[in-house]
Structure 1
Amino acid sequence: MMTDLSLLNCWNTWDVRHVNAVMRMSDLAQVRVGFYDNQRKLYKDEFFATEITKYGMHDLYGRYSEIEIKFQGSVYKLESASNGDQFVYKVSPQGSPLNSHLKFYISGLFRWGGKGNCSIAKEGHHLILQSDKRKYAIQVVGEIDESTLVNGSHLGITLHADKPIYIQCNSTMTIPEMESVLAKNKGISLNDAVKGQNALNEVPEAIMKGMLWNTVYDRVKDRLVTPVARTWCLGKMGEWVMFGSYVLFCWDTFLSSLLCGIQDKKLAYQQIYSILQEVSSRGMIPNFSGELRNSEDRSQPPVGAFCVLKLYEQFGDIVLLEQTFEALLKWNQWWTVNRDGNQDGLLEWGSDPYPDTPENTFIAGVEQVDDLTAAKWESGLDNSPMYDEVIYNKASHTMELSDVGLNSLYALDCRALSKIAELLGKQTFAISLAVEYERVKTLVNFELWNEEKGIYMNKDWKGAFNERVSPTCFYPMLAGIATPEQAQRMMNEHLLNENRFWGEFVIPSVPKDDPAYLEQDYWRGYIWGPMNYLVYEGIKNYKFHDAAFAFAEKSNTIFMKEWKLHSQIRENYHAITGEGTCTHMQTWGGLLGYVYTEEFISASAWGGYRFGNLSGVLGGLNNFPLGSDRYTVDSGSHLIVDKNGEPYIRANVPVLITDWSIKNRVLHCSVEHRMAGELVLTINDDADEFIIFIIGLTGTRELRETVDRFSQVIALI
C-alpha cells in the first residue's frame, strides 16, 4: 500500500535536515550547499524555517525548486533543476552589501549509510560520487577559493560567495545553457501546477509549497512522507531530540491529503498510505509515530474515512477505497471498545496504560500514559479549557466526559465508512455502519444538545453540562447530526455572534467570553487550520452559503497575511492580531487557505463537484484536478469553467453549482442563482441528457432535457 515512487527517483530536497541539498532516493547520493564565515570560523549546512526568507516554487518530480536562505545577514537564492541523473544548481547572493569573508562549501556524500564514496578530481573543480550502480560527476562553476580552510564534515569545494555559482551533474554545459535549463524547467513546473487568480492569487501555490517543502524521504521505511513540519522531526527541547528523521501525526496527515489533492493525486494518496502504515497491532492509528518514538497509548480525532472518501469523490479511484477500507474499519471499531468508559454509548478521550516506556515519550522529560494530560493529547486540543476541571478515570482509562467533538467525528467516520462499504459492494458493513451512525446521532442529540444554551455541550458522567465550549461543539453540523433548526440556532447565537466566535479573525479555539480567550495560548484562543476546516464543512452541509463564504474568506485573510509578509505557514494564528504563532512552515496551516479554494471549486465527500459561489467576488483557480481532468474556474459576476482547456460551463451572473455528477451519460446537478441571467453548458462529450434542479428568483424547478450536440442554453429566471 504505497504510491509508486519510480517517477520520484530524481534529484530533489528529500533530506529532512537539508533544504539546501539535493539527493537521489535510489542510492542516497547527495550534493549539499554549505556556508562558511571565514571571519567567525562558523560553518553551517543545516537551516530551519526561521532562517528561510522565501519559499519558492517546488516541483515534486525534481524539475525545479527555489528557496532563499539567510546566513550571517546575507540572503542567498538556491535554485535547482533536475532530469534523470543530471541536475543544475545555482546559488546566487541577493542584494547588497556582500561580505567577502562568506564562502560557499559544496560537499558530496552518501546519506544514511548509502554505499558509495566521494573524491575530488585533480583539477579541483569536480566532485566524483561513485555508488554501486552510478557515477555522478559534479562540476562546480564559480570562483574557487584555494586558501580558505573549511572544517566541514564531508569532502567539498570552497568558493567565494559574493558572486553566483553553478553546480552541474553529469553534464558539461556553459553558464547560458545552465540558465536555459533552469528557466525551461521552471516554466514546465509552473505550467503543470495549480494556480490561483484574483482573490485566490498565490493561495493554492502557498498551500502546495507548504506541502512540498516538507515532503522528505523516510529511510526507516523506504518511502516518501510529509511531516507537518521538518522542525517537528529534528527540533530539540533542551537536549531532547523530538522524533528523529520522520514523524507523522494522525489527523494532521489525513488532512494533509486534502491539501495535496489540489494539485497532485499521488502525493495526496501517499499521505493516506503513509499514516496507515503506522497502525498499531490493536488496529489503532497512533497520535504520532516517528523514528524514535510513537504513542501506543492513544489515537487522535478520527477524520481518516472522511478524507479518503473525499479524495475518492475527487479522483474516482476505487483502488484507494479497496486499499484503505480494512484499516479504517479496524480503527473505527477500536473506538467503541476502548473509549466508552462508562458504557453509555458515548465516547470519551483517553489513554491506555500501554506501554509506559521512554519510546512513548511525547514531551521532553514526560514519560506518561493513562492520565488526563495524555487523554488531552488524544483529543488533539492539548490545553483546551474544556478539559481544565475534567476528572480522569484510571479504571476506564478515559476522561469522565462525553465529548461532542469526538462523538461527532466518530459518527462522521461511521457515515463515511458506510458509503465506502457501499461503493465496494460490502453491503453488510454498509448497513451496520449506517445503523451505528444513526445510533450515535440519536444519542448525541438526546444527551449533548443543550436546549437552553442553543448549542451542543460536553457532559460529565454525573449528567452535568460542561460550560466551557469550543468550535468542536459545532462538529455535529459536520456529521449531519444537527437538525436544521439546531444548526440555525448555533449559527445565530454562537458562531456569528461577535461576542462569542465571530469577528475579524475566525474561529478562535475558545469563545471570546471565556476567561481563557485573553490568554491566547495554543488551544486557549489561537486559530487553527484543522478546526476552521471542520467547522467550515459543517457550515456548508447546512447550505449557509453566505456564512460559509465569509468564514472561508476570513480564514484565508489570516493565512495570506502571514504568507505575504514572511513567506510562512504557521501552526496556528493569534485570534486578536491575526499574526502567525508557534511552528513555522507547518503544513496544516494551509487548511485556512484551502477552505477558500473550496468556495470556487471542490469535490464533496458525499458526491458531486462544486463550481462557483454567489458572492460576486472575483477569483478562481487554474489547473485544478478533478478525476483525470484539469479544470479552470473563474467566478465573480459570472462563472466560467473550462475542462482541459475547452469551454464547459458559462454563466453571465453569479451561480453556485453543486452535486455535479455524470453517470451513464446523464448529468445531475443543482444550480442556485439570485439574479436573472443565462447558463450555457457545453457537455456533449460527456452527457446525452441532464437533470438540473434550479433554485432561483421564482423558486425551485426541475429541468430535464436532452443535450444539444453543441451547447445547451438555460434561462436563469
Structure 2
Amino acid sequence: MLLIIMVLLDFKVQAQYKRDNYVNILDLRSSLLQTNVISSSTTLFSDMGAWHAYSLPERQEDYGGFNGPVLFNRKGDVVSESVAKIALQINNTPFVFNQPIASFLPGMAMMKYTNDEITLEQSLIFSDKRSALVRNTIKNNSSVPVSVKVSWSGKVKVESRLAHENEQIKISFPKGIYLMDFPWKNRLDVVINKNSYQVVCKDEITIHPHSSITFYIQHSNFINENDYTVNYHHEEKAEQKFIDNQVRWNGYISKALANGGRWPNDPLIRNLKVKSMITLMTNWRSAAGDLKHDGIFPSYSTFDGFWAWDSWKHAAACALFFPELGKNNIRAMFDYQDKDGMIADCVFLNSKDNNYRDSKPPLAAWAVWEVYKKTGDLLFLKEMFPKLVRYHHWWYKNRDHDQNGLCEFGSTDGSREAAAWESGMDNAVRYDDALMLKNNNKAWSLNQESVDLNSFLYLEKLLLAKMSALLSIQGSEDYFKDARRLKKMVNTLMYDKVTGYYYDIKVAGKSKILLEGTEGWHPLWTRIASLDQASAVAKVMADTTRFNTYVPFPTFPANQSKFDPAHGYWRGPVWLDQVMFGIEGLRNYHQDKLADQLLMKFINHAEGMRDNKPIHENYNPLTGDSLGAMNFSWSAAALLRLLCE
C-alpha cells in the first residue's frame, strides 16, 4: 500500500511538470478588427523569438483559422483578421463551423470543431524564429467513408502585394515578406485578387471510417528580402517539430517548478509561474535587423525594442528556465555599448533609433551574476566582465558631479526628462524640483544623489569583486574596499534616523529630500542597511497608511497629496519590480513573515493574478485594477523570481 501511495504521489508531482496541466491560464481569444495592436487589449501568442503572433478566434466569421498574423517588425500591424481560414466540404456539403473547443497550452494554440461526421483539430506552434506551423487533422467519426474537399482563403488589411510564387502565397510589404506554404503542391488552384486569395485543393480526399488525415501549413515572416534569403526553409519534418515543442515547453515548466519557492504545491502559484514564462516567451524576439542577439520586448502592445532596465530583469528571470535567452538579452544591450562604456537606454531593429540620451539603473552585473549562478558558465562571465567594468566606471566619470563617490542620475543632452528616464522612474515625485548640473560636454546630472542608484552601484562593486576573484583578475579587494566606503556613505548620509527611512540627498549641502518612495527599500535589497535600519524601513513598508495598501508597494505613499493611484505612473501605481525589491529585501533581513503576507496580499488583490487575464505593467494600489501595458515582461520576470524563491 505504501508503495502504491508513493507511486501515485510521484505521478502527481511529475504531472505538474507537463504543459497539459496549464490550459487556458491566459485567455487567447480576440477579434483582430483593428489595424494595429499598439495600446490595445489583445492577448497574442508568439514563441521561438518570432516577429509575428496570433490569437484564437472569438467571432464565428473567423472560425476555421487562427487570428492574425500581427507583425512586430511592422510595430504591431494586423495583417489579417484570419489570414488562412480553412473551408471543408464533406460529401459535397459545406461543413458548418460552430463554436470550437479552444485551448491555449504553453507553446501551442488549438481549436477543435466536431459534428456527427467529422472532427477537425487545428494546432499552431512556432517551429523556429521565423515560422509557425498549423497542423490540421480531420477525423472521420462515422462508420462509412467520407469525401472531403479542402480550401483556404484570406484577406489582407494592410498595404501589400499578394502573389502566387513557387506554390506559395507571398504577401510583400514595403518592409517585410509573409509566406504561406500549403500542402499538396502542384494539386492546387489559386486565385489572387488585389487584397485577398483563395487556394483550392483539386482532389477530393477519402477518409475511411474512424480514420484521419493530417496536413500542415507553414507561415513565415521575414523583416526584409535579405532575411528571407538567409532564413527561409520549408519544414520537411513538421510532426517532429510538434514533438520538439512539447518537450521544450515541458522542460521550461520543469525547470521553473523545480526551483520550488515557498508554496510549491499551490496550483495558483504554479499557474502564475507558467503564466509569467508564457509572457516572457511571447515577448521574445530573435536577432534581426540591427539587433545582433535575441532579447525580450517589454510588451508587444506598447514597445518595439529592447530596454536596458527591463533586459537585466528579463535575464535574471530567464536564468531560472532558459539561461541562454538570458545571456543573449544581456549581449543585445552590450552590443551597443559606446566607447565610453555607456549602455543605451534602448535599442531597436534600426540602430539609428537607439536612445543614448540616457542610460538605465546599473543592474547589468546583477543580471550576469544571476545567469552565472544558475549555469556556472565561467566563459560567459569572462566575456561580460570587462564590459561590466567599463560600464561601472562610466557612472563615476559621467554621473558623479562633485566626485565624492555618490552618483546621480543624468542625461547626455542636459534634459531633465532624459535624466528622470535614466532612473527608470520617469515622473517620480522626488524629481519634481530637480535641476540639472553640467559635468562635461556630454554628461549632466540631476542635483540629487539617488539612494537607489548608489545601492545598485554598491551591489555591482560586490559582484565585480566576486567575478574578478573567480576569473583570477586583480582588483577584487579594491572593489570590496570601495563597496565598504559606499555602504558607509549611504547609511550615514541617506538614512534618516527620525523617520527610519532612506532618501535621495541634494548634491549641494547633502540635505535629505524627505519624500518617501520605493527607492527607500533598495538598500535592503542590496544588503546595505544594518539590522536596525532594515527593521525601521520594514515598519514603514508595513504601514497601511503608506505602503501596505490594498495592493501593497505603491511607488509613492498613499497618505501624500501627490499620490495618484490610477494615473500617476511612478506617483502611486504598484510596479512589480519594486515589489520584488521590497520582498527580496525583507527576506534578506529575515522578515519572512511580513514578506509572505505582503506578497500574498499582492497576489490575492491584483487583477490577473487569480484568473486568466494577462500580467500588466502596473496596478492601482487601492483597487487592484491593472494599469499600463498588458503582457508586461519585467512584471512577469519579477513575479517569476518571487515565486521561485
Using structure 1 for the length normalisation, give the TM-score: 0.61
Provide closer, same or farther for how the CA distance between residues 537 and 583 of structure 1 changes in structure 2, counting only shifts above 3 A. same
Structure 2 unaligned residues grouped into runs of 5+: 1-45, 57-64, 71-76, 83-101, 112-120, 138-150, 172-178, 202-212, 219-233, 258-264
The alpha-carbon deviation at position 516 of structure 1 amounts to 2.4
1:219 paired with 2:253, answer: no
| Local SS of the residue matching 2:487 | helix
- What residue number does 1:202 align with? 271
Counterpart of 2:458 (choices 392, 401, 411) is 411
- What residue number does 2:554 align with? 508
- Conserved? CA contact 2:552–2:621, under 8 Å: yes
1:279 paired with 2:279, answer: no
1:585 paired with 2:623, answer: no
| Local SS of the residue matching 1:562 | coil
- What residue number does 2:598 align with? 551
The alpha-carbon deviation at position 168 of structure 1 amounts to 3.5
Counterpart of 2:535 (choices 476, 485, 488) is 488
1:458-506 per-residue CA deviation (whole Å, 9 max, x = no partner) reads: 11123332121211111111222111011111112x0111111113312
The alpha-carbon deviation at position 314 of structure 1 amounts to 2.0
- What residue number does 1:439 align with? 485
1:89 paired with 2:134, answer: yes
Residues 124-139 of structure 1: pairs in structure 2 closer than 5 A: 138-139=182-183
- What residue number does 2:116 align with? none
Q: Which amino acid aligns with 2:299?
A: A
Q: Which amino acid aligns with 1:332?
A: H
| Local SS of the residue matching 1:517 | coil
Q: CA RMSD in A?
A: 4.1
Provide closer, same or farther for how the CA distance between residues 596 and 416 of structure 1 changes in structure 2, counting only shifts above 3 A. same
- What residue number does 1:39 align with? none
Provide closer, same or farther for how the CA distance between residues 447 and 14 of structure 1 changes in structure 2, counting only shifts above 3 A. closer
1:248 paired with 2:311, answer: no
**Rounded Cα–Cα distance in structure 2 between residues aligned with 1:443 and 1:216:** 41
- What residue number does 1:79 align with? 124
Provide closer, same or farther for how the CA distance between residues 476 and 466 of structure 1 changes in structure 2, counting only shifts above 3 A. same
1:16 paired with 2:16, answer: no
- Conserved? CA contact 2:411–2:418, under 8 Å: yes
Q: Which amino acid aligns with 1:386?
A: R
Q: RCO (CA 8 Å, sep 6+): is it higher in 1 or 2?
A: 2
- What residue number does 1:301 align with? 361
The alpha-carbon deviation at position 202 of structure 1 amounts to 1.1
The alpha-carbon deviation at position 455 of structure 1 amounts to 0.8
- What residue number does 2:252 align with? 193
Residues 297-696 of structure 1: pairs in structure 2 closer than 5 A: 297-352=357-412, 369-394=413-438, 397-426=444-473, 428-460=474-506, 461-492=508-539, 494-520=540-566, 521-557=568-604, 561-562=607-608, 565-599=611-645
Provide closer, same or farther for how the CA distance between residues 293 and 46 of structure 1 changes in structure 2, counting only shifts above 3 A. farther
**Rounded Cα–Cα distance in structure 1 between residues aligned with 2:301 and 2:576:** 18
Q: Which amino acid aligns with 2:308?
A: C
Richer in helix (by share): 2
| Local SS of the residue matching 1:571 | strand
**Rounded Cα–Cα distance in structure 1 between residues aligned with 2:496 and 2:182:** 68
**Rounded Cα–Cα distance in structure 1 between residues aligned with 2:613 and 2:628:** 15
| Local SS of the residue matching 1:501 | coil
| Local SS of the residue matching 1:312 | helix
- Conserved? CA contact 1:470–1:510, under 8 Å: yes
Q: Give the paired residue count.
A: 489
1:146-182 per-residue CA deviation (whole Å, 9 max, x = no partner) reads: 7894615xx87489xxxx9963356899xxxx8x878
Provide closer, same or farther for how the CA distance between residues 172 and 320 of structure 1 changes in structure 2, counting only shifts above 3 A. closer
**Rounded Cα–Cα distance in structure 2 between residues aligned with 1:78 and 1:398:** 53
1:45 paired with 2:79, answer: yes
Q: Which amino acid aligns with 1:278?
A: Y
1:243-277 per-residue CA deviation (whole Å, 9 max, x = no partner) reads: xxxx2111210110122122112112212222221
The alpha-carbon deviation at position 286 of structure 1 amounts to 1.4
- Conserved? CA contact 1:552–1:595, under 8 Å: no
**Rounded Cα–Cα distance in structure 1 between residues aligned with 2:617 and 2:504:** 26
**Rounded Cα–Cα distance in structure 2 between residues aligned with 1:554 and 1:55:** 30
Q: Which amino acid aligns with 2:376?
A: G
1:185-243 per-residue CA deviation (whole Å, 9 max, x = no partner) reads: 56434432315542422122111111111112223245322221233445xxxxxxxxx
**Rounded Cα–Cα distance in structure 1 between residues aligned with 2:637 and 2:103:** 18
Provide closer, same or farther for how the CA distance between residues 118 and 223 of structure 1 changes in structure 2, counting only shifts above 3 A. farther
| Local SS of the residue matching 1:200 | helix
| Local SS of the residue matching 1:524 | coil
Q: Which amino acid aligns with 1:255?
A: K
| Local SS of the residue matching 2:574 | coil
1:518-541 per-residue CA deviation (whole Å, 9 max, x = no partner) reads: 353211111112222222222121
| Local SS of the residue matching 1:79 | strand
- What residue number does 1:678 align with? none
Q: Which amino acid aligns with 1:216?
A: R
Q: Which amino acid aligns with 1:168?
A: I
- Conserved? CA contact 2:295–2:311, under 8 Å: no
Provide closer, same or farther for how the CA distance between residues 106 and 509 of structure 1 changes in structure 2, counting only shifts above 3 A. same
Q: Which amino acid aligns with 1:214?
A: N
- Conserved? CA contact 1:81–1:181, under 8 Å: no
- What residue number does 1:641 align with? none
- Conserved? CA contact 1:128–1:138, under 8 Å: no
**Rounded Cα–Cα distance in structure 2 between residues aligned with 1:91 and 1:332:** 53
Identity within the alignment, %: 19
Richer in strand (by share): 1
Provide closer, same or farther for how the CA distance between residues 47 and 370 of structure 1 changes in structure 2, counting only shifts above 3 A. farther
| Local SS of the residue matching 2:165 | strand
Provide closer, same or farther for how the CA distance between residues 86 and 306 of structure 1 changes in structure 2, counting only shifts above 3 A. closer
Provide closer, same or farther for how the CA distance between residues 522 and 77 of structure 1 changes in structure 2, counting only shifts above 3 A. farther
- Conserved? CA contact 2:468–2:476, under 8 Å: yes
Provide closer, same or farther for how the CA distance between residues 463 and 390 of structure 1 changes in structure 2, counting only shifts above 3 A. same
- What residue number does 2:147 align with? none
Q: Which amino acid aligns with 1:89?
A: V
The alpha-carbon deviation at position 128 of structure 1 amounts to 9.2
Counterpart of 1:258 (choices 316, 333, 337) is 316
- Conserved? CA contact 1:20–1:45, under 8 Å: no
| Local SS of the residue matching 2:616 | coil
Structure 1 unaligned residues grouped into runs of 5+: 1-10, 22-30, 37-42, 49-53, 60-64, 69-75, 93-101, 112-116, 130-134, 235-246, 353-368, 600-717
**Rounded Cα–Cα distance in structure 2 between residues aligned with 1:462 and 1:91:** 71
- Conserved? CA contact 2:313–2:638, under 8 Å: no
The alpha-carbon deviation at position 18 of structure 1 amounts to 4.2
Provide closer, same or farther for how the CA distance between residues 104 and 379 of structure 1 changes in structure 2, counting only shifts above 3 A. farther
Q: Which amino acid aligns with 1:539?
A: L
Using structure 2 for the length normalisation, give the TM-score: 0.67
**Rounded Cα–Cα distance in structure 1 between residues aligned with 2:152 and 2:620:** 39
Provide closer, same or farther for how the CA distance between residues 84 and 408 of structure 1 changes in structure 2, counting only shifts above 3 A. closer
- What residue number does 2:109 align with? 66
- Conserved? CA contact 2:308–2:359, under 8 Å: yes
**Rounded Cα–Cα distance in structure 1 between residues aligned with 2:198 and 2:49:** 20
Provide closer, same or farther for how the CA distance between residues 303 and 136 of structure 1 changes in structure 2, counting only shifts above 3 A. same
